[in-house]
Amino acid sequence: MTESEDDNPRVTQLEPERLGLIERTMRALELTKGVEIARRYLAMNAFDGALTMLGLILGGLVSMAVLGPETVFHTTLLAAMGTSLAMAISGFSGSYLTESAEREREVEEMGKAMLSDMSQTMYAKATRVTSVVVALVDGLAPSISAVIVVSPLLLVPFGILEVYIAFYVAIVICMILLFALGLFLGSVSGKSIWGYGAKTLLAGILTAAFMFLIALITGAEV
């Protein structure tokens, strides 16, 4: 262990040879305070993914009166899956580049303050692990929540659900997911979980209300 690691409690030995992959990852996240960051990304981006899919589902539901259910179904499903993939790639790449840049700057500034090279310390290695984990959470959270919301549409080709029913079930699932995310945020904050659940659910209700208002203004039939 270098002198800089002895002087700084944040730069501690992780003993990687004694730990498994999960344990090493958790130790790295604890050392770099990555757990809090990953938790924020998880809730925030899952929320974004769910609301994005809600907008697509509602738009498709409104369009059925004009374009027909079959055409709208295929278009909406393709758009939903494409958007999910785009959110995953964009979330991972954007978050990884941002986190890596910030972490490298932090390690460099720490090294300047200690007048030593910190690039090969356990803390520097932990920051690299944190960047990858946070990027994975950032990319997977919105895409997974999006797939959960549109999952009823995936049952239509197998004849399990009809098109209209699948769309309405997807809306219900989205509202439940938004409410669950609110409960999660409430538990994290230590305040009223039901209050947070109501707030996130309200966001979904407002999204639906604005979509139907736009449909009314544009003359589309629901």
Q: Is residue 221 part of a domain?
A: no
Note whether 32 and 132 are within 8 A (CB).
Answer: no
User: Which pLDDT belongs to residue 178?
Assistant: 92
Select from 110, 124, 102, 222 the least CA-distant residue to 164. Answer: 222
Is the pLDDT at 18 greater than 60, yes or no?
A: no
Q: Is residue 67 part of a domain?
A: yes
- Based on the structure, what is the number of domains in the chain? 1
Domain encompassing residue 20:
3-213
Query: What DSSP string runs through 30-83?
Result: HHTTHHHHHHHHHHHHHHHHHHHHHHHHHHHHHHHHHH-HHHHHHHHHHHHHHH
* Model pLDDT for residues 107-166, shown as the tens digit of each residue: 777 777 776 766 667 777 777 888 888 888 888 999 999 999 999 999 998 989 999 999
Q: Is residue 158 part of a domain?
A: yes
Q: Is residue 12 part of a domain?
A: yes
Q: Is residue 219 part of a domain?
A: no
User: Which pLDDT belongs to residue 19?
Assistant: 58
User: Which pLDDT belongs to residue 35?
Assistant: 78
pLDDT > 70: what percent of the chain? 86
Higher confidence at residue 52 or residue 219?
A: 52
- Mean pLDDT on 46-70: 86
The dihedrals phi and psi of 13, each to the nearest 5 degrees, come to: -80, 125
How far, rounded to the nearest angstrom, does the alpha carbon of residue 214 sit from its chain's CA centroid? Answer: 27
Read off the pTM: 0.77
Average pLDDT, the chain: 81
Identity at 207, one-letter amino acid code: T
Q: Could you tell me where the beta strands, DSSP code E, fall in the chain?
A: none
* Separation between Cα atoms, residue 96 and residue 133, nearest integer Å: 9
